[in-house]
Structure 1
Amino acid sequence: MGAYLSTPVTDKEVFEGQGQSINYGGGSMQGWRRTMEDAHIAEVGLSGDPGCAIFGVFDGHGGAEVAKFCQKYLSQEVQNLEQFGAGAVEDSLIQVFHRMDDMLRDHKYAEELEQLKTKDDADDEESRAEGDGDSAMSMDALEMIKRVFQIKRWQGEQPAGSDGSSAGTAEGEDSLASEAAAGGSSGAAAGSSGNGSGSSAAAPPRVIEPADSRVQAGCTAVVAVKYGNELFVANAGDSRGVLCRGGQAVALSEDHKPAHEVERNRILNAGGFLSEIGGVCRVNGNLNLSRAIGDLKYKGNNELPPKDQIITAQPDVRRIALKPEDSFFVLACDGVWDVMSNQECVDFISKRLAGGDKPADAACALLDACLAGDPKAARGVGCDNMTVIVVQLEHHASS
């Protein structure tokens, strides 16, 4: 079925907990997708402060590794910031989003990122189906071709069909395809010499790829920090946060889509372009969102600061003073919002909580309600990976 399974995976990762004045729970479900690329965080008592908690949903694309990387590191990195300890939560959230990109570029995390990748062979297939721009050639073959280019350049050779300035040209790939399939022939053999066999040729240096070629994946991120009686919500991409205030939905974030004027202007000014494919506006013919952590190949303009790149990790941050009528807030990835409006989601969760459900139960019920019965009939709506976090503000909730 292409990018979808024949039957959905409805098993859920369920999590829940409590903190000062909050009761939270959530769930994640793979659904119809061939791989699971979502991740999340939920932690209370940040920096030893019982009134401080952080929650986040990371929706991966092109692979799971960046979402999982944020799951592992973002909370600790924000706590490491001096300004966070001083109460500058908004500035800290902006800084930590960009900090994730800096860490993704750092070669000391390269092996870890490889381990975080989804190992299912269908991952590459799904990425291409979603408009990743890769050719039909397998990723293993492309990797071998790239390494043959690198070894030949180190030897001072000019790969056939290449002008030496672009290792990824179509001519170069075609001319080396058979060599790659054979294991790299002469170039690979050169790399194995000098290992005590008596050859005078030195082994080629260990290839360290630039970050934008190592890290092809990205993730949207919506992160909420409850700091005392205030709520800070940082968003980059099209995951979303919503607050229930007196039964009414209050948006805690705004989706970042390429067609929006601010986003479009930044993309074009940074040297990107927009394409409408199947009625969807995409950046450089690929991404249908305009802000994300990772996606480093769109962040290579050295003349521009991080916030002005084609794709930027710069989050918008909203600061909300919590009121007595605020009963809960929800963080969820776009798979949920494709199916429900903000108000429909609030109504659904409100009814469940009023009926005695715990936040985790309400979140899992929402996942089931959003799941499509048939991908073809639904035209993909309700077929995405989905993650929901419900944070109940206990001191405002009825007993």
Structure 2
Amino acid sequence: MRTARKGSVEMPAFVRQLVKETEKRVSSFFKGGRGGASDGEQPGEGEKEEVIPSPYLDRPVLDKLTEEGCARWGLTYALGSMQGWRANMEDFHNCVPQLGGELAEWSFFAVFDGHAGSTVAQYCSQHLLGHILATAGIGPEDNPEKVKGAITEGFMQTDKHLHSVARREGWERGGTTVVSTLISPYYIYFANCGDSRAMLCRSGQVCFSTEDHKPYSPLEKERIESAGGSVSLQRINGSLAVSRALGDFSYKGAENRTPSQQMVSPEPEVCVVERSPTDEFLVLACDGVWDTISNEELCAFIHNRLQVCTDLRDVCTQVIDLCLYKGSLDNISIILLCFPGAPQLSAEALHQEAELEDLLESKVAEIYDELSASGEEPDLLSVLTVLASTIIPGLPPGGGIQSKRNCIISAYYHQREAHRPTVPNELGSS
């Protein structure tokens, strides 16, 4: 099932009119102090700097793409994706809950975070799994070493075929990071190439997470310099912010060096974790998520949300909104995979959630009245600023006040409407 859903921060038409007065201030509040592309290219050393359009919009695109599904062995999943502040959407994904045939109990999921365009990310989302399966290293025997080798070879073959297509089609720039998981009846295989990340939560704690591939990491930097490159401004040659990716062929031209020895390597880091009945959920997400929230925070937040939400798509959209409100300026994509041991709805958690939202509504009303009484204009940003400095018990762990921002916005506009002056009708009555 694939549906395009409006972001949960979308507002009715009459509310959008009210928000215009604070929109510019809110935008500057979010954008202040952050700049530069997270994984795209900047002009390199010695290159003439070109005047290029800003990679950011004046207003974020809040529409969300969501997807959900399940596998017959008990896995459920959802995807959430949003363009956000970026001028273009460059994220793609692949969700295959059942591979079919003798691999009917296997699942594959991946997030592709493109940079310098979306072409490479789109191509890889369509072809990576096919190249992995074509290696014939994956079978019912579920041999971890063979599977790991097949995944690595699948990445390398994808990059090789991509290079041929790029030369034929004239793709001079562009690449994509990839984070993926292949789930078998006995193991969870993780493959990471770049700075997107996977995280496994077990018994309410982070059990495993992949390592980001950044140019300044010691082993990555050593490879880059050995291939004739340099690391400055935490980027390869002052330009590219990731050290492993598919595509980016302008960084893969060092002679007498294998593909995995180039400045940008297409070789994934593949890890295997044995499955456990205490596995709860697994997250695959681009760096638009991880730039604003830690592994532990996201694990705690999702664990809490699963106790109050039955729709995994809603959990994904809440994560996206949380990252947006915490300052993410990137495209944001997340895949949430829930195992049979995932947290279930809790009557106690639902009660606490209702109490929290009642408390927030009363706090917003109190702040609104106080600002009005002091002669200040109780605009949305002013109310948010005061509320952010207020101690609020019971906020979702890992989420903080930002995770309840939609509730706060709703409460604010309720107060705005309640305080709107009454307009006399034609007969003079009020």
Between stretches 341-350 and 243-252, larger displacement belongs to 243-252
1:255-294 alignment, distance < 5 Å? 255-276=212-233, 281-294=234-247
- Residue 191 of structure 2 is matched in structure 1 by 234
**Alignment partner of 1:76: what SS?**
helix
Task: Report the residue type matching 2:117 in the other structure.
Answer: G
Q: 1:32 aligns with which of 76, 85, 89?
A: 85
Q: 2:156 aligns with which of 91, 98, 101?
A: 98
Q: Whole-Å Cα distance in 1 between the matches of residues 185 and 168 of structure 2?
A: 37
Aligned residue number for residue 18 of structure 1: 70
Q: Distance in 2 between matches of 1:29 and 1:353?
A: 21
Structure 1 stretch 88-97 or stretch 362-371: which is displaced more?
88-97
1:5 has 2:63 as partner: no
Query: Residues 99-178 of structure 1: matches in 2 within 5 Å?
Result: 99-107=157-165, 110-111=168-169
In the alignment, which residue of structure 1 is the partner of 2:329?
A: 383
Q: CA deviation at 1:396?
A: 5.5
1:56-67 map, 5 Å: 56-67=110-121
| Separation of aligned partners in 2, 1:99 and 1:353 | 38
Q: For 1:192-271, list aligned pairs within 5 A.
A: 214-271=171-228
2:124 aligned residue: 70
Alpha-carbon distance, 1:50 to partner: 2.2
Contact 1:33/1:385 (8 A) holds in 2: yes
- Asked if structure 2 preserves the Cα contact closer than 8 Å seen for 1:324 and 1:396, the reply is no
Alignment partner, residue 304 of structure 2: 351
- Structure 1-normalised TM-score? 0.69
C-alpha distance in 2 between matches for 1:320 and 1:354: 26
Kindly indicate whether residue 248 of structure 2 is the aligned counterpart of residue 295 of structure 1.
yes
Instruction: Give the TM-score normalised by the residue count of structure 2.
Output: 0.64
Map Cα deviations across residues 202-229 of structure 1 (whole Å, 9 max, x no partner): xxxxxxx6xxxx2410011001000112
Code of the residue aligned with 2:183 in structure 1: it is K
Mapped partners of 2:344, 2:54: distance in 1:
47
Paired residue for 1:42?
A: 95
Do residues 332 (structure 1) and 386 (structure 2) align? no
Q: Secondary structure at the match of 1:340?
A: coil
CA distance in 2, matches of 1:267, 1:357: 46
- CA-to-partner distance for each residue in 1:107-159, whole Å, 9 max, x for gaps? 49845xxxxxxxxxxxxxxxxxxxxxxxxxxxxxxxxxxxxxxxxxxxxxxxx
1:266/1:109 CA distance change after superposition, 3 Å: closer
Unmatched tracts of structure 1, length 5 or more: 112-208, 374-380
Q: Matched residues in 2 for 1:13 and 1:307: separation?
A: 34
**Structure with more contact order per residue of length (Cα contacts < 8 Å, sep ≥ 6):** 1
Quote how far apart the aligned CAs of 1:351 are: 1.1
**Aligned partners of 1:78 and 1:96 also within 8 Å:** yes
CA contact (8 A) 1:372 1:383 kept: no
Shift of 1:42: 0.6
Q: Which amino acid aligns with 1:55?
A: F
Hey, what does 2:48 align to over in structure 1? none
Alpha-carbon separation, structure 1, partners of 2:167 and 2:63: 31
Does the aligned pair in 1 maintain the 2:309–2:315 contact within 8 Å? no
Q: What is the Cα-based RMSD across aligned positions, in Å?
A: 1.8
Distance 2:82 2:257 in 1: 38
Q: 2:286 and 2:166 mapped to 1: Cα distance?
A: 30
Q: Is the 8 A contact 1:251 1:342 kept in 2?
A: no
Deviates more, 1:247-256 or 1:264-273: 247-256
Matching residue's letter, 2:54: G
TM-fit CA distance, 1:358: 2.5
- 1:65–1:359 Cα change, 3 Å: same
Sort the Cα spacing of 1:372 and 1:215 in 2 relative to 1 into closer, same or farther, 3 A: farther
What SS does the corresponding residue of 2:182 show, helix, strand or coil? strand
* Aligned-partner Cα distance in 2 for 1:394–1:360: 17
Contact 1:222 1:331 in 2 (8 A): yes
- Residue by residue, what CA displacement relative to the aligned partner does 1:37-79 show, whole Å, maximum 9, x if unpaired? 0001110221422210000011000000111011111122222
Q: Give the deviation of 1:364 after TM superposition.
A: 1.2
Which ranges in structure 2 are unaligned for 5 or more consecutive residues?
Answer: 1-52, 346-430
CA distance in 1, matches of 2:154, 2:186: 22
Q: Distance in 1 between matches of 2:147 and 2:267?
A: 15
Check 1:108–1:389 CA distance in 2 against 1; reply closer, same or farther (3 A cut): closer
Distance 1:268 1:240 in 2: 25
d(CA) in 2 for partners of 1:110 and 1:29?
Answer: 31
**Pairs aligned (count):** 287
Deviations, residues 260-290 of structure 1 (Å, cap 9, x unaligned): 11001000011111112xxxx0101111111
Counterpart Cα distance in 2 of 1:287 and 1:109: 21
Q: How far, CA to CA, are the matches of 2:325 and 2:303 in structure 1?
A: 22
Aligned with 2:109 (options 34, 55, 64): 55
- How far apart, in 1, do the equivalents of 2:342 and 2:301 lie? 18
Q: What SS does structure 2 have at the residue aligned with 1:249?
A: strand
